[in-house]
Amino acid sequence: MTFPYTRMRRMRKHDFSRRLMREHRLTADDLIYPMFILEGEQVREAVPSMPNIERVSIDFLLEEAKELVELGIPTVALFPVIAADKKSLLAEEAYNPDGLVQRAVRALKQAFPELGVLTDVALDPYTTHGQDGIIDDDGYVLNDVTVDTLVKQALSHAQAGADVVAPSDMMDGRIGEIREELETEGFINTLIMAYAAKYASAYYGPFRDAIGSSGNLGKGNKFTYQIDPANSNEAIREVMLDLDEGADMVMVKPGLPYLDIVRRVKSELEVPTFAYQVSGEYAMHMAAFEKGWLDKDSVMMESLLAFKRAGADGILTYFAKDAARLLKG
Ligand code: PBG
């Protein structure tokens, strides 16, 4: 009989003992802030399904970046809104050295060299059909020709000064090809964060609205390259392959509904592990906050702490600024 010798509530009674036994902590260092960028000057547009999130032109991006640095957020992730007339079947705009992302990276690195800049490597903002790769006549995304284009895209990001390139396309073999190209071209310290375990999730809906690819994608889906939400071992295998091919960090995506995968990756592979609390997760939280059904600050912080407990080293989250502000007090 352990009771009353063991009383679990003893340690919970005081603030000092609760603090002493606290296992995980969220800090601003854990946060990566995803931002949507568009062409123009002094432009900012609301994203209806993502309250408080905007698409901004590069000048406003720089203003926000200043705030991120002041808040101690180490990294920003960029996602472009590409004008319809720049989209094509072969997504050539993806590797335009003077494209929107490439210019944004150069501007950011010049103004805030200490802020980490992460770019998304995938073709969906650039294709007329909204798929992440180049398709054949049946609409099937072709792996190897897509990888050739992703390599060009990743190199153009590195040349612009990106610190981290993050392939989110789920083509086979792309990490190895990108790593080889970066080495050959002298970008030996450009980091690769692989969206390694990226699921074919319905939680990406608001993101596709934000970058304007949902109209192009229509009723299309990404089942032939993203992972089936029913699978777990397959995610581990994807992560192992990406590590083998030269990824420095791996990511699990979406976030909260896939914390079991985050935990497995961290426990089984013991590598830098990141999670993406995606647009749909943000949207559903915000909807409940706006209705007054959940308390924003406490639920937001609890949701982020859950990632740390599951083993994530960092979190891509649209709450990054709000959380960092709260942490600053
Ligand atoms: C594109 C990409 C997506 C997200 C990040 N990069 C969407 C998709 O795969 O359709 C989703 C991010 C989010 O929902 O917040 N390759």
Is the CB–ligand 1 distance for residue 190 below 6 Å? no
Q: Give the atom of ligand 1 at the shortest distance from the alpha carbon of 213.
A: 10
Can you tell me the distance from the alpha carbon of 302 to that of 308, in angstroms, rounded to the nearest whole number? 10
pLDDT, one tens digit for every residue, the chain (329 residues): 799 999 999 999 999 999 999 999 999 999 999 999 999 999 999 999 999 999 999 999 999 999 999 999 999 999 999 999 999 999 999 999 999 999 999 999 999 999 999 999 999 999 999 999 999 999 999 999 999 999 999 999 999 999 999 999 999 999 999 999 999 999 999 999 999 999 999 999 999 989 888 888 888 999 999 999 999 999 999 999 999 999 999 999 999 999 999 999 999 999 999 999 999 999 999 999 999 999 999 999 999 999 999 999 999 999 999 999 999 98
pLDDT at 64: 98
Torsion angle (degrees, nearest 10) of CA 259, 276, 319, 221: -110
Is the CB–ligand 1 distance for residue 282 below 6 Å? no
Is the CB–ligand 1 distance for residue 247 below 6 Å? no
Q: Which helix (H) or strand (E) holds 195?
A: strand 191-198
**Contact between residue 265 and residue 250 where contact means Cβ atoms under 8 Å apart:** yes
Torsion angles phi and psi, residue 32, rounded to 5: -120, 130
Long-range contacts from 179-186, C-beta under 8 angstroms, 24+ separation: 179/245, 179/246, 179/247, 180/246, 181/151, 181/154, 181/155, 182/154, 182/155, 182/158, 185/155, 185/158, 185/159
* 221 CA distance to ligand 1 middle (Å): 12
Beta bridge pairs of residue 192: 165
Can you tell me the distance from the alpha carbon of 166 to that of 276, in angstroms, rounded to the nearest whole number? 12
Tell me which residue has its CA closest to atom 14 in ligand 1: 204
**Is 66 a residue of the active site?**
no
**Is 253 a residue of the active site?**
yes
Residues comprising the chain, all counted: 329
Structure tokens at 255: 């976030």
Q: Give the atom of ligand 1 at the shortest distance from the alpha carbon of 205.
A: 14
Alpha helices in 130-258 (DSSP H): 143-160, 174-184, 205-211, 214-217, 233-244
For the domain made up of 24-328, the CATH class stated in words is: alpha beta
Is the CB–ligand 1 distance for residue 93 below 6 Å? no
Can you tell me the distance from the alpha carbon of 145 to that of 174, in angstroms, rounded to the nearest whole number? 11
End-to-end CA distance of the chain: 45
Can you tell me the distance from the alpha carbon of 315 to that of 262, in angstroms, rounded to the nearest whole number? 11
Binding residues: 238
pLDDT at 219: 86
